[in-house]
């Protein structure tokens, strides 16, 4: 899993690359997001455009990040999930929890 952190218009964007699974990146994503929230960076956009697969621990990581951010008064949104990843999010009804965007500029503006 590759994690790249960047900023745009006061939004922290996390570009993920690779599988988001128990053995690939899930723990790193959780740790990074917890650090961001503790630092007060509460507008987080998670770019899933290069994530071809997500498992239940990846889903758990996204939910934990969402809950922690919300408890701190923040917002987490998702960007450009692959069709297969979106299907999983839809299956577990997380597409109704997360604000999911296909366009980065519009996602940033939505904050």
Tell me the CATH number at 12: 3.30.750.24
Beta-strand relationship, 11-17 and 43-50: parallel
Over the range 36-59, which residues count as b (16 or more CB within 10 Å of their CB) and which as e? bbeeebbbbbbbbeebeebbebbb
Give the separation between CA 74 and CA 56, rounded to whole angstroms. Answer: 24
Tell me what pLDDT residue 60 has. Answer: 93
pLDDT tens digits, 3-19: 999 999 999 999 999 99
Give the predicted TM-score (pTM) of the model: 0.94
Judge contact between 93 and 63, C-beta under 8 A. no
Domain ranges, residue 12: 2-109
102-110 mean pLDDT: 96
34 class by beta-carbon count within 10 Å (0-12 exposed, 13-18 middle, 19+ buried)? middle
Total domains, the chain? 1
Tell me what pLDDT residue 29 has. Answer: 94
**Token pair of 69 as six digits:** 């951010």
Q: How confident is the model at residue 23 (pLDDT cuts 50, 70, 90)?
A: confident
pLDDT tens digits, 50-62: 999 999 999 999 9
């Amino acid at each position: 899993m590759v994690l790249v952190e960047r900023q745009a218009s006061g939004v922290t964007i996390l570009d993920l690359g690779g599988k988001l699974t128990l053995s690939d990146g899930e723990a790193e994503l959780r740790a990074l997001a917890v650090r961001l929230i503790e630092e007060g960076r509460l507008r987080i956009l998670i770019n899933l455009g290069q994530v071809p697969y997500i498992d239940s621990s990846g889903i758990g990581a996204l939910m934990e990040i969402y809950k922690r951010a919300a408890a701190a008064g923040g917002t987490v949104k998702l960007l450009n999930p692959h069709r297969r990843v979106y299907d999983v999010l839809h299956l577990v009804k997380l597409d109704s929890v997360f604000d999911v965007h296909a366009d980065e500029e519009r996602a940033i503006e939505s904050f």
